[in-house]
Amino acid sequence: MRTLKMGALGLGQGASWSLLSMDAMPEIELVAGADLNPAMRSGFSDHFPAARTYETAEELFRDPAVDAIWIGTPNRLHCEHAVAAMRSGKHVVVEKPMAVTLEDADRMVEASQKFGVILLAGHTRSLSIWNRAMRRIVMSGEIGAIRAIHIWSYTDWILRPRTPDELDPQQGGGIVFRQGPHQIDTLRLLGGGMLRSVRGMAGRWTDSRPIEGYYTAYLEFEDGTASTIMHNGYGYFAMASLYPWVREKRGYSDADRAALRRDLERGVRDESAEKERYRVGGAHDPVAGAKAQPVTPYPWNPFDLGPVEVACERGMLMPAQWGLTVYGDDGPRELDLRPLQRPEPDPSGGLSIAILEEFHAAVILGKPAYHTAAWGRATLEASLAVMQSAAERREITLTRQVAMPDAYDAALDSGLNVAAG
């Protein structure tokens, strides 16, 4: 099988985990990386000595051996980098949020069509095996038609180190831009994709962080399916503490959170140095640690997404430690998802493997792409609508929604023992 030769643009915190996934997948070859920061470049070449290292995006895009680019640069640059990469003939996976404005997302959709390349919107957390299995069970009709989806999360998102652009909503800063797309992409996957309207609220609750750290929204699908999302990132309570098997491997302790909150209020944190530790080559860079080994099985963990609850006419779906609990007319049944897990170097959150598998299948094997530019634009439209609705205190009607084809993940059905209905 021909491998997909990838270059990574932006070797920061998010990319550190995706690089591990690329490195672990035989169908992907990580051939190059680029970052403006020399520390990241040096970490990258230490970890991947066979790959080429560049300073700028332009040099990376000129590399003829690179088929495709993983864009992990800051949000404000996603559109510019994606369009330039596509103009150079490269296929693209872009980190979430796909862009900062709908106009930029339009340019990305157009560029993908004009240059005849694939752009996938990498909303990685929506693609966990738990969410994908839930979707196939919903589609099987086992517990009737889907009626409601709820995804609520409590994390310490606001306490994590931030660069100045992450503190500027104009540049894609704030929890709605950063975390909204994960939850919205998940519920769109489960509900079929076609949202009708959004009523949202977002909150900035502390002067020490001039960005939103909370949002909630009611999103209704065209067929009347209801959904709610909520993310409280202020760090007073962690959703993960509700689940006895979950250890927060990368999270802060209660004492850490109290100290970070005090330091933020006093303005004494060196966030630039803190963040650098998590980037490629930094002290907490996962690429360097024992965590680099792909593992399976790994248990469910709410991480930043939160638990996904699906209500159907004749039952419920809830995540469980090793799979799902399907509550139906005859009582609950446990569904073990371990046999469907692929060894993943990043069970703790990034979950890049599913999008990379789709990418390889589309670019190299000519299979359909599902998380396309138009799909990503629809998730961005709903994320922006949460902010617009919050500002204007009214319901926003959506116009750019697209459906997820039934064929997506049909191959999972035999493993789940369901027949698509």
Residue 311 CB, nearest distance to ligand NAD (Å)?
A: 27
Q: Is 13 in the site for ligand NAD (CB under 6 A)?
A: yes
Residue whose tokens read 């209660």:
254
Question: Bridge-partner residues for 311, per DSSP?
Answer: 148, 316
d(CA 173, CA 324): 34
Check residue 233 for interaction with ligand NAD (CB under 6 A): no
Q: Closer to ligand NAD at the Cβ: 14 or 191?
A: 14
Verify binding: residue 301, ligand NAD, rule CB under 6 A. Answer: no
Residue 344: count of CB within 10 angstroms of its CB = 24
Q: How far is the CB of 7 from ligand NAD (least distance, A)?
A: 11
Which one of 12-20, 24-32, 291-299, 395-403 is the stretch in contact with ligand NAD (CB under 6 A)?
Answer: 12-20
Calpha distance 210→207 (Å, rounded): 6
Of positions 4, 6, 8, 11, contacts ligand NAD by CB under 6 A: 11
Question: Is 181:98 a contact under the CB 8 Å cutoff?
Answer: yes
The footprint of ligand NAD on residues 168-207 (CB under 6 A) is: 178
The yes or no reply on residue 73 touching ligand NAD (CB under 6 A) is yes
CA 71 to chain centre: 13
- By CB under 6 A, name the one of 35, 185, 344, 409 that touches ligand NAD: 35
How many Cβ atoms sit within 10 Å of the Cβ of residue 162? 21
For residue 196, the SS3 value is: strand
Which of 247-283 are b and which e, b meaning 16 or more Cβ less than 10 Å from the residue's Cβ?
ebeebbeeeebeebbeebeeeebebeeebbebbbbbe
Q: For helices 373-392 and 102-114, what crossing angle results, to 10°?
A: 170
Query: Among 7, 8, 28, 75, which residue interacts with ligand NAD (rule: CB under 6 A)?
Result: 75
Nearer Cβ to ligand NAD (28/317): 28
Selected range binding ligand NAD among 31-39, 129-137, 224-232, 355-363, rule: CB under 6 A: 31-39
Q: Is residue 72 a contact residue for ligand NAD (CB under 6 A)?
A: yes
List C-alpha distances in Å: 340 to 9, 132, 326, 416. Answer: 30, 11, 17, 8
Among the listed residues 132, 279, 291, 377, the single contact to ligand NAD using CB under 6 A: 279
* Residue closer to ligand NAD (CB basis): 21 or 225: 21
Residue from 7, 33, 43, 74 binding ligand NAD (CB under 6 A): 74
Q: Which of 363-380 are b and which e, b meaning 16 or more Cβ less than 10 Å from the residue's Cβ?
A: bbeeeebbbbbbbbbbbb
**Minimum CB distance to ligand NAD, residue 302 (Å):** 14
In the chain, the amino acid numbered 211 is: I
- The smaller minimum CB distance to ligand NAD, of residues 121 and 310, is found at 121
Among 95, 156, 185, 381, binds ligand NAD (CB under 6 A): 95
Q: Indicate which single residue of 19, 66, 77, 264 sits in contact with ligand NAD (rule: CB under 6 A).
A: 77
Q: Which of 6, 7, 12, 282 binds ligand NAD (CB under 6 A)?
A: 12
Query: CB of residue 14 vs ligand NAD: minimum separation in angstroms?
Result: 3
Q: Is 345 in the site for ligand NAD (CB under 6 A)?
A: no
CA-based radius of gyration for the chain = 20
Residue nearest to ligand NAD according to CB distances in the complex: 12
**Vertex 233 angle, CA 230 and 239, to 5°:** 70
Enumerate the β-bridge partners of residue 316.
Answer: 311, 327
* Under 8 Å between Cβ of 386 and 200: yes
If the CB atoms of residues 5 and 41 are measured against ligand NAD, the closer one turns out to be 41
Our finding on whether 14 is near ligand NAD (CB under 6 A) is yes
Q: Which stretch binds ligand NAD (CB under 6 A): 5-13, 132-140, 195-203, 328-336?
A: 5-13
The reply on whether position 350 binds ligand NAD by CB under 6 A is yes
How far is residue 285's CA from residue 17's CA, in Å, rounded to a whole number? 9
> In the complex, what is the shortest distance from the CB of residue 248 to ligand NAD, in angstroms, rounded to a whole number?
15
Q: How many helices (H) and strands (E) does the chain have?
A: 12, 15
Q: Does residue 34 contact residue 53 with C-beta atoms inside 8 Å?
A: yes
Using an 8 Å Cβ cutoff, are 65 and 39 in contact? no
Please tell me the distance from the alpha carbon of residue 131 to that of residue 307, in angstroms, as a whole number: 10
CB of 161 to ligand NAD, least distance (A): 9
Give residues in contact with ligand NAD (CB under 6 A).
Answer: 9-15, 34-37, 40, 56-57, 72-75, 77, 95-96, 124-125, 163, 178, 275, 279, 349-350
